[in-house]
Amino acid sequence: MGWRVDAPLHGKLRARRPPPAGHRGAASRKESELRIPGTHGQTLLHIAARRNLAGICRWLLRLGANVNRTDILDRTALHDAVRHNAADVTRLLIAHGADLDAKDWQGHTPLDLADAGDGAALAQAIREEISARHARKVKTVHLAQTGKPTDAG
């Protein structure tokens, strides 16, 4: 089963051991490692996200990790961060364009998980980003249709 192959850094993240300072890891030797899913299709980003390891998530994203990659349960790293109330990582993933409408195998979005769990602050952050993205989309459509910016700035 190809999806059960663990990349060398998967174990370090599971053990909460970050790579050494200055470590470019296997990504510099073999960029495809970022895309090799481990157990249950989880990537390094999934593992770091649920442990609220914002520095490692930032490093993985800088190396090209896909913020919207799903595991075998259709969960993204944002789903995992929200499920584990990982506030720092949740905000980081949102800032990197995580899909706020992504649904897991049960049809739950990250906002659904935040509302159902102990994540009122996370739910508020997600709602604010949904509103901000909607406003940007409306401004873009308005500009495309009229050639003029909206009055709302």
- Per residue in 10-62, pLDDT (tens digit) is 555 555 555 555 555 544 444 555 666 667 788 999 999 999 999 999 999 99
Q: Which two tokens stand for residue 25?
A: 């890891």
The C-alpha atoms of residue 4 and residue 75 are separated, in whole angstroms, by: 16
Taking the domains of the chain in order of start, what are their residue ranges? 2-120
The pLDDT assigned to 75 comes to 97
- Going by C-alpha positions, the residue among 80, 75, 5 that lies closest to residue 37 is 5
Mean per-residue pLDDT over the chain, rounded: 82
Hey, what amino acid is at 6?
A: D
The C-alpha atoms of residue 88 and residue 53 are separated, in whole angstroms, by: 8
**Beta-sheet strands, E only, within the chain:** none
**What CATH architecture applies to the domain 2-120?**
Alpha Horseshoe (1.25)
